A = this chain, B = another copy of it.
Amino acid sequence: MSPREATFNESVSSLSAHGLSQRYSAVRGFTEDLCEPLFPEDCVIQSMPDASPTRWHLAHTTWFFETFVLAKAIASYKPFHPAFGFLFNSYYNAVGEQYSRPERGLLSRPRVEEIFDYRKHVDSKMQELLDDPASSLPADLLAVVEIGIHHEQQHQELILTDIKHVLWCNPLYPVYHESERESNGQTRPIEWIEYDERLHWIGHDERGFAYDNESPRHRTFTDPFQLAARLVTNEEYRDFIEEGGYQRPEYWLSAGWDLVGKRGWKAPLYWIESEGERKHFSLSGIQPLDPSAPVCHVSYFEANAYARWAGVRLPTEAEWELAAGEVPIEGNFAESGRLQPVTLPSSTSDGAPSQLFGDVWEWTTSPYTPYPGYSAVEGALGEYNGKFMCNQYVLRGGSCATPGSHVRRTYRNFFPPDARWQFSGIRLARTAESA
């Protein structure tokens, strides 16, 4: 077994097929729970090339299990529908041609109901495989099942971020679900947590599941730095705006400044001026901005400009991972049902950074690159991560739309620097010298 295959396989040792079956069932069910508030009309819309219709997410995650598990495990397996391989393959060239991504919103068929039938069909075959003691899936396929479950969780987040964008495009501002508003008072001054210089290890230690892009674990040297104990808030970001943040080129990367002009950016995505008041669009409709809640839906360019305006900078991913150290993976995740970032009642008591996990993905200043010694796994699944390591930045920590069990300290999310429709926010850092 090559070192790269290990990344996906290692974790399986601790997972019985039966344990996987239960997780499979729970995760697949959660996807469908997320679609419960949606109507068939909602599920076909593609509001921009970067996003996909709900129906596509529902089918694509199913195709993943069908293609990479069922078709491999069952000699006589016949695809549910001969065209679905073409329609629901996202980008796996090794598996075949793909239907044009920006045109996913042109398709009304198979209908949503038919896609749920597809899910049922594949789920029943999968459960058979996982539950039947005689089936005895080989370890490498069990590993792929586990990948598929994590893959499904990634698409759960995308279902939420993509449908939020769809509803936002509608002048009626439809509500996805009703939710109570919470606020916990005002913004406190930032406390800075200090970290000494050190040569340390980052990347996944191969205990439990991880994607290949988190490996190999390797040493890196980090200069002394300080990390903000909390996230940047709406109130602080509003100050940036009001002091001319979007009018002053000196805070911006050149490519970001171009976009400010071209796209007319004046505030984070989903902020609106309504009746003289700043509000924002959430999955619960238009709401007043909570001043002390973390600012959200900013691009890397905006996060970086904010940091420069504040006289500091964003953290690198090595700094972030170092700080994540022993911090427990708890926070405001998708399961809470809030589906928006909230004000934290207080900083964590023990001097650790708060809200490191959940609420908002935190932009780092690190381009998404291969770790030293990285090479993609062989075969189609090698296309999962490696080929996207270009012109994207790493985000860390998960968001209020990420399933909690999907998040890890070493997890590397990545988006292009202009992306704003994810739940992405800002944590500040500074080098010790500039203190």
Asked whether, in the complex, the Cβ of B249 is within 8 Å of the Cβ of A93, the reply is yes
In the complex, residue of chain B having the shortest beta-carbon distance to the beta carbon of A87: B171
Q: Which residues of B contact A331 (CB under 8 A)?
A: none
* A365 beta carbon closer than 8 Å to chain B: yes
Asked whether, in the complex, the Cβ of A166 is within 8 Å of the Cβ of B83, the reply is no
A391–chain B nearest beta-carbon distance, Å: 4
Query: Known: A171-B86, A369-B367, A391-B255. Is A106-B219 also a contact (CB below 8 A)?
Result: no
Asked whether, in the complex, the Cβ of B170 is within 8 Å of the Cβ of A106, the reply is yes
Asked whether, in the complex, the Cβ of A219 is within 8 Å of the Cβ of B218, the reply is no
Q: Which residues of B contact A254 (CB under 8 A)?
A: 91, 387-388, 390
Q: Which residues of B contact A94 (CB under 8 A)?
A: 250
Asked whether, in the complex, the Cβ of B388 is within 8 Å of the Cβ of A391, the reply is no
Q: Which residues of B contact A257 (CB under 8 A)?
A: 93, 387
Copies per assembly: 4
Contact of A106 (CB < 8 Å), options: B103, B166, B223: B166
Q: Which residues of B contact A294 (CB under 8 A)?
A: none
- Which residues of chain A from 167 to 201 have any CB-CB distance to chain B below 8 Å in the complex? 167, 169-172, 174, 199
Asked whether, in the complex, the Cβ of B390 is within 8 Å of the Cβ of A256, the reply is yes
In the complex, residue of chain B having the shortest beta-carbon distance to the beta carbon of A416: B391
Asked whether, in the complex, the Cβ of A108 is within 8 Å of the Cβ of B417, the reply is no
A286–chain B nearest beta-carbon distance, Å: 14
A418–chain B nearest beta-carbon distance, Å: 10
In the complex, residue of chain B having the shortest beta-carbon distance to the beta carbon of A253: B390
* A105 beta carbon closer than 8 Å to chain B: yes
Contact of A93 (CB < 8 Å), options: B107, B250, B389, B433: B250
Q: Which residues of B contact A167 (CB under 8 A)?
A: 108
* A112 beta carbon closer than 8 Å to chain B: yes
Q: A41-B108, A107-B170, A253-B390 provided; 7 other pairs, C-beta below 8 A?
A: A3-B433, A83-B171, A91-B254, A99-B171, A106-B169, A367-B369, A390-B417
Asked whether, in the complex, the Cβ of A221 is within 8 Å of the Cβ of B220, the reply is yes
Asked whether, in the complex, the Cβ of A387 is within 8 Å of the Cβ of B170, the reply is no
Which 5 pairs show the lowest CB-CB distances between chains A and B? A367-B367, A41-B108, A93-B249, A254-B387, A42-B108
Contact of A41 (CB < 8 Å), options: B112, B172, B372, B375: B112
Q: How far is it, in angstroms, between the C-alpha of A417 and the C-alpha of B254 when the chains are bound?
A: 17
* A398 beta carbon closer than 8 Å to chain B: no
